[in-house]
Structure 1
Amino acid sequence: MTMNRRDLGKGFAAMGGLALPALIGGQAQAQRAQDTLRIVFRDAVPNIDPYYNSQRTGLILGHQFMDGLVHRNPENFEIVPALATAWNWVDTTTLDFTLRQGVKFHDGSDFTADDVVYTVNTVSKPEARVATPSNYAWMDRAEKTGTHSVRLHLKRPTPAALEYLALVTPIWPQAYRERVGADGFARAPVGTGPYRVTRVDVASIVEYERFDGYYQGGPKGRPAIRRITARFVTDAATELTELLAQRVDWIWNMNPDQIDNVNRLPFLQALQQESMRIGYLSLDAAGRSGAGNPMTNLKVRQAVWHAIDRQALADRLVRGGSRVPIAPCYPSQFGCNADAAVRYDFNPAKARQLLAEAGFPNGFEIELTSYVQPRQWSEAVQSYLQAVGIRARLNLMQVAAQIQRAWRGELAMSMGSWGSYSVNDVSALLPNFFDGGNDDYARDPELQRMLVEGGSTADAEARKRAYDAAIRRITEQAYWVPLHTYVNTYAFQRQLEFKAFPDELPRFYLAKWK
């Protein structure tokens, strides 16, 4: 079932009066009695193994059932023990770990050093074809130094190594994965986390059950809720309709316009939390989508920057304290220096002048792809572009489909978002878009050199200088437009105790019924 905005308004109105007692005492109470948390996401993932998708939903799904060597405390970003109880920097490229004993995988097998070595030595190699190679390109190899000890060798000094290990490097069970293969693991994944996966259908649903064998002292703790069902729907209206009808207990990233309406209902609540995700507009400066693409012209790209009122997008559409990043990164990330960026004001007249100078006095037509929801955000960017003569044909897509087209080099102009896997370092963002990989639509060797320089030293000042130079070049060349920070909008049953964190990683293992 889908509803437009007018229908949604009618739906809210219809939930007054006599309808409410039935709703309050109905399905939500029943699910609470069954100890099941029902959540909905708008983007199905191609693979529940977090190594093989770059979507935030995939990271969230994996975080509930897999653990890494270390864990980042969401309250203060402190790195704390997980599958490793201790670690020590031997030198700038060598890291020793003491592993926790007595840990079981969900299939009952023991966690050992062999599992860590197998995981690291697989995902760090190009032939693994992981979704985001830059997350693991800094690792050289792991070696077993004892039954419960491992040495990790780095290709280069990587100050953010522990953050990557905490957020994007969960440990596979070697024996199980080798037995069932990568495809078998995706269908029936096994980890060491507080929940175990009981069913996977990547097109429709993932089901979890509390893992009562979760190890003592684990940083995620024992979940209060026994079961989770995570369903996938295709659009925001269906998602909200499901919440209103109390067929689900939790959704996120609904249209902020609906916050007040949701909070008027006695059985629902909504809240907002800024995250480390930024919305962006990628421009095909390299001509991957065709040599005649207007985005290969610097003045056209500069016109795009001047054409969009990014502050209005943040204030009027995203809301909730959304900010406009001056540099192409999240402001708190190490190396994200706004002072190094070339600034572009909202100036439609300047945009039209630049288009004329570039040989497009009457503008041009171009495809604008976007998976961004709510769709009004994409439509606003489309309108700003059309106002200066860039007639963008908006093509709204599912996340996975747009990623596939991006990797094939088919997108002249595309809207998306990037959460840096919540790693608070620009090495989690800039290399993904500018190191020559699938998402790089600049293909700038000088910029690539700067990023290698910034990622090859532990010297903070040297890293800052390199990243300053990279930010200056990205903005001078107008390769990639940072539009706004994201503010996640959560809506859920009032009976559910749920806390949002700024790293955009919902922790359902911390949720409980009131």
Structure 2
Amino acid sequence: MLTKRTLLSTLVGATLACATLAPLPALASKAEDTLNVAFSSEPEALDTYKIAGREGLILSRHIYDGLLYKDLDTGEFKPALAESWAFTDPMTIEFKLRQGVKFHNGADFSADDVLTTLNTVVKPDYGTRYQISVDWIDRVEKIDAYTVRIHMAKPFAGAVEMLADALPIYPHEYFAANGSAGMSATPVGTGPYQLVEQTPGVRYVLERFEQHYAGSPKGQPAIGRIVARTIPEMNTQYAELMSGQLDWIWRIPPDQASKLERRVNIVNAPIMRIAYVNFARAANEGGYAISDVRVRQAIIHAVNREQIAKVFGGAASEVLNSACNPAQFGCEQDVTRYDYNPDKARALLQEAGLADGFELDMTFAAMPRPVAEAVAADLAKVGIRVNLNENQYAAAVQKWREGSVPALFSNWGSYGIGDVVFIQSNFFGGGADDQIADADIAALLQVADTSNDREVRKANYSQALKKIADRAYWMPMYNFNINYGLADDLNFQPHPDEFARWWLASWK
């Protein structure tokens, strides 16, 4: 029987009980104009192109700028380092660059910075973490000191989305001399904050960049200083938030949030991230049970996804049926649905010649162990004996791409972007993460990903998602929402892309 009560719940309850015995100390962060924040996971080195986790990406977006910026409150794309842009033909985008922009090291921004940055990170040997973010770029051409053209390697419907802060521009001389290691050790950008101190993975100090360019869509920050720390123990984060040592924490489990809201400001917000189990059909045609579609269907019927979503996802989380987030453009909902039906699961296993069940190796990463254990427990009830292997995310992805992982349980945030182009092709379009290798689906996605016609895109995504569900290539789990813990005197607005915009925060 699943339960919300854990050892952590007990400890938090004790912490809260003790907190009621004494008044809280006065908050110092506002008086010192310092926003104190904490992450549970260590931020990665701050070369944006090498980062997978949100922690490092959040810090990076305060340090760096892209050519464009997307206002999630309006959906509008706004000029950032580029003051204007236009498609000169279906495969070429021309940018007029903003003049008078300074990097944190005093260098002047120009076309050379765009040229050097993008022409470097598109090269396979650079090791950009997510190739989908740059593999649509063939080359960047300098027209003059403040005009560049991006020549596309292929039509890509998500090009403008990626240019909106996901592809930051580095100072060309510094980047050419120091490379990725230099950008990680001493990040230099044009963003609203500059990094003035870091103990990598532990503590980061950012200060408002007073020369941040006028007209920036990020605006001029109201808060002068940010101190970000890695605090793995959530109980420590809770205690520091209640005592005024922290102003911002996130990813608070639902049961803990209900306890904490008596003492601090808890804000719940939906995000693009979803949980999923991916079955590697192509990697398992040599004899694994899940190469049989009936077995994959049985697995989905056997897992009580509704209860798991309710217990671990929170009240706002819902069971998913399509391999995407319903909030994304093109996420077809009229697909085959698999209800919780253990009897149906057993019948399918018997039909597949596995009435006695079988063993299944399942790797999980970036998901709490209790969630993986809940999935394994449900599968055990129909005779599927799951061997759970917990890995760090990077290691799990490497094994998945090598084809040595039959089933991967993880999550995907689509870069926080509300368009299925950033999830479908990553897993089913023929790239490194596509261990399904279904040519029919890849062909549909190719059309959808390269068309400028939204109706054509929508129709092809619909067909692809229907096939994915019919063939049970994924077990979609649930959509995520996040609980934030905030100081009472902090104005902070969360956004569904999981990027904390502290440059928009202010003190009450």
Q: Distance in 1 between matches of 2:392 and 2:41?
A: 7
* Aligned residues of 1:287 and 1:295 also touching (Cα < 8 A): no
Q: How does 1:37-48 map to 2 (within 5 A)?
A: 37-48=35-46
CA distance in 1, matches of 2:420, 2:65: 24
Q: Give, in whole Å, the separation in 2 of the partners of 1:338 and 1:401.
A: 32
TM-score when normalising by structure 1: 0.91
Letter in 2 for 1:38: N
Q: Which residue of 1 aligns with 2:294?
A: 299
The Cα of 1:236 is off from its aligned counterpart by 4.0
Comparing 6-15 with 358-367, greater Cα deviation is found at: 358-367
2:346 matched to which residue of 1? 352
**Does the alignment pair 1:449 with 2:449?**
no
1:92-491 alignment, distance < 5 Å: 92-234=90-232, 236-265=234-263, 268-287=264-283, 291-339=286-334, 341-491=335-485
Q: C-alpha distance in 1, partners of 2:100/2:189?
A: 14
2:9 paired with 1:14: no
Offset at 1:279?
Answer: 1.1
Select between 184-193 and 370-379 the one with higher mean Cα deviation: 370-379
Residue 425 of structure 1 and its aligned partner are, at CA, apart by 1.6
Offset from partner CA, 1:118-141 (integer Å, 9 cap, x none): 222222333332111012222222
Conserved in 2, the CA contact under 8 Å of 1:35 and 1:225? yes
Once the two structures are superposed, residues 177-235 of structure 1 have per-residue CA deviations (whole angstroms, 9 ceiling, x without a partner) of 11112112111111111011123444323321111110011111122222222222445
Q: Which digits, 9 at most, give the CA deviation of each residue in 1:87-109, with x for residues without a partner?
A: 12222222111111000111110
Partner Cα distance (1:411, 1:309) in 2: 23
Q: Identity of counterpart residues, as a percentage?
A: 39
Q: TM-score, normalised by structure 2?
A: 0.92
Unaligned runs of 5+ in 1: none
Instruction: Report the Cα distance in structure 2 between the residues aligned to 1:168 and 1:116, rounded to whole angstroms.
Output: 14
Partner SS state of residue 30, structure 1: coil
Conservation of the 8 A alpha-carbon contact between 2:401 and 2:435: no
In structure 2, C-alpha distance between the alignment counterparts of 1:33 and 1:396, rounded to whole Å? 43
Q: 1:202 to 1:291 in 2, by over 3 A?
A: farther
Paired residues of 1:156 and 1:457 also in contact (CA < 8 A): no
8 A Cα contact 1:188 1:199, kept in partner: no
Alpha-carbon displacement from aligned partner over 1:56-96 (angstroms, at most 9, x marks no partner) = 22322211111111100121111011111111222222211
Q: Distance in 2 between matches of 1:461 and 1:430?
A: 17
User: May I ask how many residue pairs the two structures share in their alignment?
Assistant: 503
Post-superposition shift, 1:373?
4.9
Q: Which ranges in structure 2 are unaligned for 5 or more consecutive residues? A: 1-5
SS of 1:338 mapped into structure 2: coil
Per-residue deviation at 1:242?
4.3
Q: Is the 8 A contact 2:250 2:485 kept in 1?
A: yes
Q: Return the alpha-carbon distance in structure 2 between the equivalents of residues 390 and 380 of structure 1.
A: 13
Could you tell me how far 1:147 is from its partner in structure 2?
A: 0.9
Q: Is contact 2:111–2:148 with CA below 8 Å preserved after alignment? A: yes
- Residue number in structure 1 paired with 2:499: 505
**Residues 1:24 and 2:19 aligned together:** no
